[in-house]
Copies of this chain bind each other. A is one copy, B any other.
Amino acid sequence: VRVSDVRITSLAATDPPLRNSWGVHEPYVLRTLIEITTDDGLVGYGETYGGEAIARDLRGAAANVVGMNPYAMEPLRLRLRSARLFAAFEVALLDIIGKATGESVSEILGGRVRNRVEFSSYLFYKYASDYDDWGEVMTPEAMVGETRRFREQYGFRTHKLKGGVLPPDEEVETLRLLHREFPGDKLRIDPNAVWSVETSIRVARQIEDLNVEYYEDPTWGLAGMAMVAEKTHLPLATNMVVTQFEHVAEGARLGAAQVILGDHHGWGGLRAFKSLGEICYALHLGLSQHSNNHLGISMAAMAHAAAVVPNCLYASDTHYPWQTEDILKGGKLKFTDGALEVPTGPGLGVDVDPELVGRLAEQYKSRPASGRDDVAEMRKRVGDWLPMKPRW
């Protein structure tokens, strides 16, 4: 079996005005669909980051993929020299191998150790918009309402608060209200590194008794994270200072983070996520999954990834509930009791609806903005907005 064709399609799906420390999400999330076809007619799907640059790079790299044996992934990885580009193709190649053998991607990766993968609420402060029905959430009290909806609609019992938006005391108050309202639930907060070391340490003491399972990227840099880690018993988590294999040794040496938030899109694919799991095991680091906005192909891929790594014990992050549009045949994947059943059909176990792909591809072409720029979007609302670091 050889790869005969690679198709790259840029997609845009509506996204609510979610706040973070850089600004606010634009009305569209951009993603890229990778379709790989083999000479015997199998089609494998991958999904990755969106926008012009990555689509151009993927099209440029496709010449390395056409003609290859789908199993020969390691030479492709070395040739591409980009974990992101390789990951995009790798998921599609694994989908093909699964379809060729009749096995699910999680079996191809070495076998599932769990059939259900737990996910976490991704709580965002947000503005109201006429293209989402979550309303404005800009106070601690409103966040309790948002969380209640996540709990009831999806069954999540772990909730990650995207912080770095309101002043730290209001975000602490948010966690306090959430803990009071849902005392058995686990909490996380991720201010995306806009707090100083001093603020991070002060906040750590305030949230240590609020059932916070980890404290994500309160400040920037390996050294800053290590300074905070030294002063709190909360495990620090990161998807900012340890984001590739080359960072692991120094991160571990400094004790900069105790939990790595891996992401197959960035680390080099599902096999790389599994390798990261082995490294975390060897180094006594925790492992969870990071998420950017994504659609259903990535959702299925993440479920397969978490299903094959024994020490992936934290509920994974996902933006998926925020997306109302998807490209999957039969509609979006569904969470029950806070978890996703890992698809067991051949390959990723999900299929793509060409009509929906066409719709989101059309939306990509006709959308006003050129790429995701949370700062520019924020400056439409607050004219002199600048993403300060530290802000507090």
Interface pair B101/A308, CB less than 8 Å apart? no
Q: Does A356 contact B (CB under 8 A)?
A: no
Which residues of chain B are within 8 angstroms of A73 by Cβ–Cβ distance? 110-111
Which residues of chain B are within 8 angstroms of A275 by Cβ–Cβ distance? 274-275, 278
Interface pair A111/B249, CB less than 8 Å apart? no
The CA of A195 and the CA of B310, in the complex, are separated in Å by: 40
A residues in contact (CB < 8 Å) with B:
69, 71-76, 78, 100-101, 103, 107-108, 110-113, 245-246, 248-249, 252, 271, 274-275, 278-279, 281-284, 308, 310
Known: A101-B100, A107-B69, A275-B275. A74 touches B112 (CB 8 A): yes
Pick the contact of A278 from B100, B108, B113, B245 — CB < 8 Å?
B245
Min Cβ gap A287→B in Å is: 14
In the complex, residue of chain B having the shortest beta-carbon distance to the beta carbon of A108? B71
Min Cβ gap A100→B in Å is: 7
Min Cβ gap A267→B in Å is: 11
In the complex, residue of chain B having the shortest beta-carbon distance to the beta carbon of A90? B110
Interface pair A111/B72, CB less than 8 Å apart? yes
Min Cβ gap A125→B in Å is: 36
Interface pair A71/B278, CB less than 8 Å apart? no
Pick the contact of A279 from B72, B110, B274, B282 — CB < 8 Å?
B282
The 29 sampled A-B contact pairs (Cβ below 8 Å) are A69-B103, A69-B107, A69-B111, A71-B101, A71-B107, A71-B108, A71-B110, A71-B111, A73-B110, A73-B111, A74-B110, A74-B111, A74-B112, A74-B113, A75-B112, A76-B111, A78-B310, A100-B101, A101-B101, A245-B278, A245-B281, A248-B282, A249-B252, A274-B275, A275-B275, A275-B278, A278-B278, A278-B279, A279-B279
The CA of A75 and the CA of B284, in the complex, are separated in Å by: 21
Which residues of chain B are within 8 angstroms of A284 by Cβ–Cβ distance? 249
The CA of A249 and the CA of B284, in the complex, are separated in Å by: 8
Chain A to chain B: the 9 pairs with minimum beta-carbon distance, closest first: A74-B111, A71-B107, A72-B111, A275-B278, A248-B282, A73-B111, A74-B110, A245-B282, A249-B283
Min Cβ gap A332→B in Å is: 28
Which residues of chain B are within 8 angstroms of A72 by Cβ–Cβ distance? 107, 111-112
In the complex, residue of chain B having the shortest beta-carbon distance to the beta carbon of A249? B283
The CA of A38 and the CA of B341, in the complex, are separated in Å by: 28
Which residues of chain B are within 8 angstroms of A103 by Cβ–Cβ distance? 69, 71
Residue of A76, A112, A283, A284 with most chain B CB atoms under a 10 A cut-off: A283
In the complex, residue of chain B having the shortest beta-carbon distance to the beta carbon of A310? B78
Known: A101-B100, A271-B110, A275-B278. A248 touches B74 (CB 8 A): no
Which residues of chain B are within 8 angstroms of A279 by Cβ–Cβ distance? 278-279, 282
The CA of A249 and the CA of B282, in the complex, are separated in Å by: 6
In the complex, residue of chain B having the shortest beta-carbon distance to the beta carbon of A100? B101
In the complex, residue of chain B having the shortest beta-carbon distance to the beta carbon of A69? B107
In the complex, residue of chain B having the shortest beta-carbon distance to the beta carbon of A282? B248
The CA of A242 and the CA of B26, in the complex, are separated in Å by: 51
Min Cβ gap A31→B in Å is: 26
Known: A71-B108, A107-B72. A78 touches B113 (CB 8 A): yes
In the complex, residue of chain B having the shortest beta-carbon distance to the beta carbon of A107? B71
Min Cβ gap A263→B in Å is: 16
Which residues of chain B are within 8 angstroms of A274 by Cβ–Cβ distance? 275
Which residues of chain B are within 8 angstroms of A69 by Cβ–Cβ distance? 103, 107, 111
Min Cβ gap A249→B in Å is: 5
List 19 other contacts, CB 8 Å, given A69-B111, A100-B101. Answer: A69-B103, A69-B107, A71-B103, A71-B107, A71-B108, A72-B112, A73-B110, A74-B110, A74-B112, A110-B271, A245-B281, A246-B282, A248-B282, A249-B252, A249-B282, A249-B283, A249-B284, A279-B279, A279-B282
